[in-house]
A and B are shown apart, each in its own frame.
Chain A
Amino acid sequence: MESRPLVVVGAGVSGTAAAIEAARAGVQVTLIDENPVPTSLARLNVPQFFGQRFTDALRDKAAMMDRIAAANGALREAEEAGVDIQLGVCVWGAFRNSENSRILDGPQIGLADHERSSMMKYDRLIVATGSRDLSIGFAGWNLAGAMGANGAHSLMSRHQALSAQRIVILGSGNLGLSTAKMALDNGIEVAAILDVTPSVRGEKTLAAHLQSKGVDIYTSHTVKQAVGSNGDIESVVLVETDDNFEPVAGTEKVMSADTVCLAISLVPNIEILSLLDCDLNFKSHLGGYVPIHNDWMRTSVDTVFVAGDAAGFHDEMVLNREIARNQGRIAGIAAAESLGAINKSEARSLISEIGTGVPAVQPTEAHTIWKQWLNSLANAGGQDVIACQCEEVTRSEIIGLKPPRYLEWGSVQMSRRTLQTQLKDNPANPNQVKRLTRAGTGICQGRNCREQVALLLAEESNSDIADIPLSTYRPPLRPLPLNIMWPDDESEDVRNEWPKWFSPNNKVLG
């Protein structure tokens, strides 16, 4: 098995900055990024919510590698600093010894490119995996053309492969506003930006700039539905909302658009941190469950550091990428120090020049806006809207704790059971909802519904989303074909001494 002193996961702003600092401090650094992803995954909205709005260019892996490298100037700097850069490689697993798993040969990650998988040992890991789009379903969001802002950003900037013509943006924070600006810069029409809030959430100057370019911003509005034929969005119905996020009758507007972009908020990508059992906390102003870390970006697990959106996302970070960059630099220096490449005082002096890596402005809590959006969408579009696209589970089926439709199960007893009755027995638990309704068990691995399920559980249990436990992450963190997960390097011992269950000879499995 390969072994590296420092592996940085994610070649975005923070990960690249981390890699450069550590390499300059004399550490041999491996920087891994899963982009470009196979189109088979992109089609499933994994790992980013692309909404089928990518061009054929995405199929050309070599061309995409070039574009991704060109889009991030710092990558060249990293290369010059001697960083080993691996694009198109995902991290699907992370393993370390712990109380009930003691026989690993040191901490290691599972990697896969488009053809094969492997394991890599590390001494230190920096998780700079960024964030993903917060998805909340509206009627028609399972049509092609519903996508996420992060997905749109990625397709426009890194891949130059966004195929949208006319776009409606949900969310007036800096995330939504910057998506609109980038769309205009890429020659895409922006039909509207809307938000449930009574005023624009993001930078007023940016909003004014967009309005001067003819973009309409609708505050106190939500989506009633996206409409389309042949599986593609063709128009979007907006509706005004009152103070209780109820639709105002007679205010519907139909906008022609082929794309609806969810730009409500981003959620930190903490899957690897969760697998490694780093301590996590729900912090609303940082976008959900985030790792606990010290000033030097070290998590509760000594060998693991974190930087950028994965450490916590807030809207200011969209416009000010210095926050993520600084966190990355600090993590890179701290990891180098922990490996003994530089001493503590050197590290301290380097870090003191950077600043804290925390935002200048105290960010506001995020989940109030999540909740307002869910309420407005539920009020305008109803609860018979799909929440989990993979398993086609609606919000009302989650609230009703319904067994999946394919079981065709009906009984008096079952009809008496709902999420409410379940909550009398047990605190809200998304894993239990997952087991019973199958919401979150699909091929997107819950990326597009876990916050919705948590919001519904909070709503039904009259509690705060911060009190809803994290739905479990399990490897592989990406859908990985059997024949790619297949270990080429399987040892003869494992091969020949595969046990038959627990039993001695002549006993069978199962």
Chain B
Amino acid sequence: MWSYFILPGNFSSGLDKKAAMNKYLTSTIKSYTGLIASCLIGAMVLSAPPVQASDQAAVAVVEELHGMLVDNMKSAPGRDYPERYRLLEPFIENRFDLPLIVKVILSRYWNKFSEEQRTHFIELFKNLTVATYASRFNSYDNEEFITNSVEKLQKGRLLVKTEILAGNEKPVSLDYLMHENDGKWQIISVVANGINDLSLKRAEYGTIIKDEGYESLVRQLQEKIAQYELSG
């Protein structure tokens, strides 16, 4: 690594410079070739059988969600917001572990809640999640969802790494944090370009509860849902 810092010395004379430049160019090209080769080998290895059944089940959940989103996007605006909402709701209810998500987001406040408050908040959060998906994925611009890889985390959790490609735009990386609950794979967080929705909401909701109280948080989330409904 330290050899990198003596570069200016290598480039001291004109001739040396040219030779050095050629050398580094060649090595750069070589390393790209190497990269492509290793990608190809990697692709071959990945497409070969030893993909575990659990991985496949988790990937299938993510791809089902992506399929629904693309279908909604392609069918909009003929398929209006209430219809998109209705189609997404059962999936999100089933395939997002909403009680766990809410428990993590509300973090230390969770234990202070009554059973009734918990049930109410989980329902509210489900509505917010469905509304967000129904509203945000509302037009199609040749977006394509690609599953790249699966990484194992602690306690059997998996990270399913995907990307949204859209024409010339920079790809958006979308990672799904998943776990197996009662024999079925469920999503517990979505990480978009490195931003973990769970941590983000935990910090945000915590601030609101701390500064303004729980009732204010509930009211503001209801307003968000109403806004999504309005803007369709």
Do the two chains belong together in a single complex? no
Residues of B within 8 A of A (CB): none
Residues of A within 8 A of B (CB): none
